A and B are shown apart, each in its own frame.
Chain A
């Protein structure tokens, strides 16, 4: 464990929450996109977070090899997966994307849900910033001991 572990952990939280905000913004921006490079309408993307095992770092691998482990290592993004809920069917016979029955498949993005997600991730981001400030304040006091 090093002095700056706590700062790195809070930084991993900042990265994860920033990515959630990016993905939420992409969902909002594409709420009406009926075409994507993969074909079909846009599907809402969901960020899956997981606790970081610290295996990626040298220190983490060393602790693991020595039978340690359980050292906190922050958070990481496990995957960004598409939401599999059904797409919205909108009756719009004049739309070039409409099928034979006159229905257009719209993205399964609910703007209200995205806005609450955006608030949630921005609050979590702030919580990590506060944790970082506390740690920084404590460490600067520790350095004064020298």
Chain B
């Protein structure tokens, strides 16, 4: 069978991408919190989630790839910043966490506006 597959959900690819970006950023929030919690653990190396790269790869492959996209934390191996082998730079982690939080809020604002357009189209906004 040829031709485009029917859309899998009522959400268009942009909305789907926004949702996936939010879940990627939420995982990143968890991973960065874990780095901060382990700032005093000997030998600990911080991890991060490059959800931007994963998403942009999936975007290149098409809507099905976006639907199936999954994110995984990666260890950074920054080397030791302390004598006990710990590699967490608390300030850098806190900055990344704040930045990621703002990014989630921005994504949610866009997702929310698009949802409200859709609700208007459905006649649900009065």
> How would you classify the secondary structure of chain A's contact residues: helix, strand, loop or mixed?
helix
List B contacts of A118 (CB < 8 A).
Answer: none
What is the CA–CA distance of A73 and B36 in the complex, to the nearest angstrom? 12
What is the CA–CA distance of A145 and B15 in the complex, to the nearest angstrom? 13
For chain A, residues 103 to 146, give those with C-beta under 8 angstroms from any C-beta of chain B: 120-121, 124, 127-128, 130-132, 134-135, 137-138, 141-142, 144-145
Inter-chain contact B97/A134, CB cutoff 8 Å: yes
Judged by a CB distance under 8 angstroms, whether A12 is at the interface is yes
Task: For the complex formed, measure the closest distance between the CB of A131 and the CB atoms of chain B, giving whole angstroms.
Answer: 5
Inter-chain contact A142/B104, CB cutoff 8 Å: yes
What is the CA–CA distance of A12 and B29 in the complex, to the nearest angstrom? 15
List B contacts of A16 (CB < 8 A).
Answer: 37, 40
Inter-chain contact A145/B112, CB cutoff 8 Å: yes
Inter-chain contact B33/A135, CB cutoff 8 Å: yes
For chain B, residues 7 to 52, give those with C-beta under 8 angstroms from any C-beta of chain A: 22, 26-27, 29-34, 36-42, 44, 47
Task: For the complex formed, measure the closest distance between the CB of A111 and the CB atoms of chain B, giving whole angstroms.
Answer: 21
Judged by a CB distance under 8 angstroms, whether B90 is at the interface is yes
Inter-chain contact B41/A49, CB cutoff 8 Å: yes
List A contacts of B104 (CB < 8 A).
Answer: 138, 141-142
Q: What 0/1 pattern do residues 51 to 72 of A give for CB contact below 8 A with B? A: 1000000000000000000111
List B contacts of A3 (CB < 8 A).
Answer: 26
Judged by a CB distance under 8 angstroms, whether B108 is at the interface is yes
Judged by a CB distance under 8 angstroms, whether A44 is at the interface is no
18 A-B contacts, Cβ less than 8 Å apart? A3-B26, A9-B33, A48-B42, A51-B41, A51-B44, A70-B73, A72-B47, A74-B34, A75-B38, A121-B40, A131-B33, A131-B94, A132-B33, A138-B26, A141-B104, A142-B22, A142-B104, A142-B108
Known: A74-B34, A144-B108. 13 other contacts (CB 8 A): A3-B26, A48-B42, A49-B42, A50-B42, A127-B36, A127-B90, A130-B97, A131-B37, A131-B97, A138-B104, A141-B104, A141-B108, A144-B112
Q: Which residues of B contact A (CB under 8 A)?
A: 22, 26-27, 29-34, 36-42, 44, 47, 72-73, 90, 94, 97-98, 101, 104-105, 108, 111-112, 115
